[in-house]
């Protein structure tokens, strides 16, 4: 069957593709219940915009944020996954991984949304990824428990998720205090009157802050769904999505030159006999695990894989000239070499500064081949984020507006929380770190309540904290159980 995605697919593969894409977009739809609802919470609660207008406006700026995003966060999320599953996402185990991630994230997000709790879609997805990695280490021969999970990347990601709410709480409170010094207008610090919008300048302020949070949410949270969709597309239609086929001739020429320059560096550092392609792949897969160590065999494996990349690029004017049946192989080689160089850089294993700089540039060129997201994927993600917001905003808006503090949210508190949320998320984008809009904004509102001495509702805070604390372990459990179930189902139906 010739699919709209460009490859000739069997009926089974085509149905899997549609189902998997539907689930990935469903994840973004549910994400809209939680995170995008936070972006419109203050502007709706303060009557600055009617809900329909607020959701459409927020959706447009989410779309803008998604379209202008570089994809750094999306591929940072994928770096958390076990390397063998990423490289073989089109296998039965890869399919089981995709479904486990999506089902576990959707189940938990729906449950916390139903209870009106601002839980984190970022925590949900990362917990599911860790669960899949742990289950894969238990069920794969020759693995020790936890082997294959990128613990270094998990640590960096969790640090960002833990620190960002603290930043939201502290700096939103400080922002409110600063506003009180700079803007001495009593209206800004009063509670909204039911059914009555504030004056024009307050409305403008809150619409601007809503715009900023919506844009930032699209530029960060929207990338998580994009990364999952790319994982699906690479697995099912690698001929079209394994590599960026729009890479021009100049970029290919530069890449070929860097490939040739890297060859003698790897050969010199290898100091051991050459290895074949299979040995090289196994060595680099082992090196990319958290337990992997820098040793001559790693450089010998890099030399072999680097040579394979050079051979596949030889005589090619553009990436589109690479034969369709070789694109998945080239992607695997590029991924292993790029990620291995990245780990060598992190461990400062290249002593010569000139060589380290050259390999760093080579890695950037390799990443451009695989770190791309088609415009239609960005548009689809933004659309489903907006649709989810339209349906699920009310529960979260009431929680943010009335149930965090003992008094209702004021205009100034809402603006302060959103200004800090926007700045924090944009900073996380720079470093390619996934953060939670939900956590930052909810913590920001709590921070303004504390700064204003309005008091905090202990029961609501306990419920929110309980949801935050339980999200990771519950999703680790769900992810591991669903992955194990998926592997059993694949084996039962004759998958590979």
pLDDT digits (tens, 9 = 90+) for 422-442: 999 888 887 777 777 777 888
CB atoms within 10 A of CB 494: 7
Nearest Cα to Cα of residue 422 among 404, 440, 408, 395: 440
The pTM for the full model equals 0.81
The H or E element containing residue 384 is helix 375-398
Nearest Cα to Cα of residue 418 among 59, 201, 172: 172
What is the per-residue pLDDT for 3?
Answer: 45
Residue 213, token pair as written in the block: 């949070």
What is the per-residue pLDDT for 495?
Answer: 54
Residues 6 or more apart in contact with residue 462 via CB below 8 angstroms? none
| Block residue for tokens 């060129």 | 365
- Our separate counts of H helices and E strands in the chain read 20, 0
What is the per-residue pLDDT for 340?
Answer: 93
Q: Which residues pair with 405 in a beta bridge?
A: 456
Low-confidence ranges of the chain (pLDDT < 70): 1-9, 33-37, 84, 87, 89-90, 116-119, 140-150, 152-153, 272, 389, 392-407, 455-456, 460, 464, 493-496
Q: What burial letters (b/e) apply to 239-258, b meaning 16+ CB within 10 Å?
A: bbbbbbbebeeebbeebbeb
Q: CA-CA distance, 276 to 441, in Å (whole number)?
A: 52
Q: What are the φ and ψ backbone dihedral angles of 405, each rounded to 5 degrees?
A: -100, 165
Q: CA-CA distance, 181 to 412, in Å (whole number)?
A: 12
Note whether 42 and 418 are within 8 A (CB): yes
Residue 295, token pair as written in the block: 């040793």
Q: CA-CA distance, 288 to 363, in Å (whole number)?
A: 15
Q: Which residues pair with 214 in a beta bridge?
A: none
């Amino acid at each position: 069957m010739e699919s709209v995605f460009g490859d000739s697919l069997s009926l089974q593969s085509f149905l899997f593709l549609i189902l998997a894409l539907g689930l990935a977009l469903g994840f973004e739809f549910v994400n809209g219940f939680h995170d995008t609802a936070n972006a419109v919470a203050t502007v709706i609660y303060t009557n600055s915009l009617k809900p329909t207008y607020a959701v459409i406006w927020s959706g447009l700026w989410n779309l803008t944020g998604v379209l202008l995003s570089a994809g750094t966060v999306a591929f940072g999320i994928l770096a958390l996954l076990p390397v063998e599953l990423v490289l073989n996402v089109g296998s039965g185990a890869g399919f089981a991984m995709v479904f486990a991630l999506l089902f576990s994230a959707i189940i938990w997000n729906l449950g916390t949304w139903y209870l009106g709790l601002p839980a984190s879609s970022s925590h949900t997805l990362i917990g599911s990824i860790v669960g899949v990695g742990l289950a894969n280490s238990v069920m794969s021969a020759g693995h020790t428990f936890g082997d294959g999970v990128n613990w270094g990347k998990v640590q960096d990601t969790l640090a960002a998720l833990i620190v960002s709410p603290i930043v939201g709480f502290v700096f939103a409170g400080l922002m409110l205090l600063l506003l009180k010094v700079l803007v001495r207008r009593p209206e800004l610090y009063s509670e909204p009157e039911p059914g009555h919008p504030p004056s024009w300048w307050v409305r403008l302020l809150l619409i601007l802050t809503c715009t900023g949070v919506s844009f930032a949410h699209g530029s960060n949270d929207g990338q998580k769904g994009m990364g999952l969709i790319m994982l699906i597309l690479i697995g099912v239609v690698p001929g079209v999505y394994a590599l960026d086929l729009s890479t021009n001739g100049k970029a290919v020429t530069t890449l070929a030159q860097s490939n040739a320059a890297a060859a003698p560096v790897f050969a010199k550092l290898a100091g051991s006999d050459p290895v074949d392609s299979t040995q090289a792949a196994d060595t680099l897969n082992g090196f990319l695990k958290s337990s992997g160590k820098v040793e001559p065999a790693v450089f010998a494996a890099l030399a072999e894989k680097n040579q394979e990349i050079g051979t596949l690029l030889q005589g090619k004017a553009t990436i589109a000239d690479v034969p369709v049946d070789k694109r998945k192989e080239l992607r695997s080689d590029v991924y292993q070499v790029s990620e291995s160089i990245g780990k060598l850089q992190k461990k400062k294993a290249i002593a010569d500064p000139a060589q380290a700089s050259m390999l760093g540039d080579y890695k950037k060129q390799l990443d451009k081949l695989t770190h791309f997201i088609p415009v239609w994927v960005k548009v689809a993600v933004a659309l489903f984020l907006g649709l989810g917001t339209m349906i699920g905003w009310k529960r979260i808006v009431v929680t943010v507006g009335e149930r965090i503090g003992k008094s209702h949210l004021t205009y100034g508190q809402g603006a302060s929380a959103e200004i800090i949320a926007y700045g924090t998320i944009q900073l996380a984008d720079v470093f390619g770190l996934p953060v939670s809009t939900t956590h930052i904004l909810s913590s920001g509102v709590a921070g303004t309540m504390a700064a204003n001495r309005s008091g905090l509702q202990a029961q609501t805070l306990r419920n929110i904290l309980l949801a935050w604390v339980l999200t990771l372990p519950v999703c680790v459990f769900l992810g591991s159980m669903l992955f194990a179930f998926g592997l059993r189902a694949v084996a039962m139906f004759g998958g590979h």
